[in-house]
Structure 1
Amino acid sequence: MARSAHNEVTDSGAFDPSPSTFRSFVSRDSSARFAAAPGRYHLYVSYSCPWDCRCLAYLKLKGLDHVIRFTWVKPVFERTNDHMGWVFPAAGDEEPGAEPDPINGAKSIREFYEIASTKYAGKPSVPVLWDKQLKTIVNNESSGIIRMLNTEFNEFAENPGLDLYPAHLQASIDEINELVYEGINIVYKCGFAKQQGPYDEAVTKLYEALDKCEDTLSRQRFLCSNQITEADVRLFTTLIRFDEV
């Protein structure tokens, strides 16, 4: 398995990200192993990552940032012994937009994966939704985390009536998500490509998808209807850092 994103480039020079490993789900059911509760979970993110910022957007939109606190790592990979990955600063004033780990005093995200699974050999990625009670990773897939935030913490949310994945729009949202994921969210395929062929292929898909979204948004306010949905959040967090990152 890949030890970092740098190891996920194929022999042809194309970027091929590996799937997330931890895919458990927090439930509103109080008897569930991972039951929704204020203060039980902590989110680890990088401000430079659009996948992570989906989760932050949901915390704010749903009014859950008082229920699930979050900590941000340094925005650029650093070496920790035998791997390159996300690290925490040693002090709060070391780097703007990053802070030391307040839960386990970890120096890198990799340490959380090693606590959660002594046999884990994959990529230590963010976001990480950490269960402070069971001392393990619940989920490290942003698309799963935002679905939990949308529904499972409504009892504690300041904006519980906001449904970003309403039943009557789910088919449309899923369709847009697929287009945006393959064409725009995976803009990394352009950045990590090591050969011209894979780069050209990725760039062509990127701008085709951008054109399709531009056409849709020239005719309506949001991607799927007249209301904001998950599809808009997933697109926005990539677009807003398109030039900068």
Structure 2
Amino acid sequence: MQSSDKHDIGQALATLRARIGRLEERYDRPAGSVDLLAVSKTMPVDAVQAAVKAGQRAFGENHLQDARSKIEALAAAEKIAGEPPLSWHFIGDIQSNKTREIAASFDWVHSIGREKIARRLSEQRASELAPLCVCIEVNISGEPTKAGVAPKEVESLAEIVLSLPGLRLRGLMAIPQPAPDMASARLAFRQLRDLLDDLNAKGFDLDTLSMGMSGDLEAAIAEGATIVRIGTAIFGRRHR
């Protein structure tokens, strides 16, 4: 279970799952309450295959063409007896001319930041498919170059997304700016959790906080992450 640079993906996954379990216990989270999304963007098919063999079923991609080749190559993995199907999550910026293929190929989208994109995804989701699970991306740190809506705009976009039949609004996603210490990292994630709590208090019934990556997953889990998006800690250093 190794990628082309001999990084042991199976061992890395086992180590990471054990760490997540310890963090769930440390921060009084229910066992199994944090789902692991393997960020396979830029990684070759054989690396994803190694992760599948090690039991990983959910993968995150941000480039449509690269993702499509992996989805097609791994179609046979969908039929592994006794295992849930692979789940493909789009986690990058979305161009209008890519929405049709994203709506057709993915199970989740974590990066809804515009009404136009949400409407296109809903309209282009085939009726025979389950509604596309989506998260609203929040620019929680207010960075001018980062995608996502401002915290004050989240509720209005959530109301629109909730009304779209081809989508199922699950929660919020954020990528805070790098923090100098654990306390600062926790504060940013707490702000996202508070936004989710506010929406739920208004009847939105959301269940997902997509936050935390290889460098800050402890802070994210401490503040309620339900999906952590991990790439480097699973696949090793990226080559492009």
Which structure's residues are more often strand, by fraction? 2
Which structure's residues are more often helix, by fraction? 2
Q: TM-score, structure 2 length as denominator?
A: 0.29
Highest CA radius of gyration, 1 or 2?
A: 1
Higher relative contact order (CA 8 A, sep 6+): 1
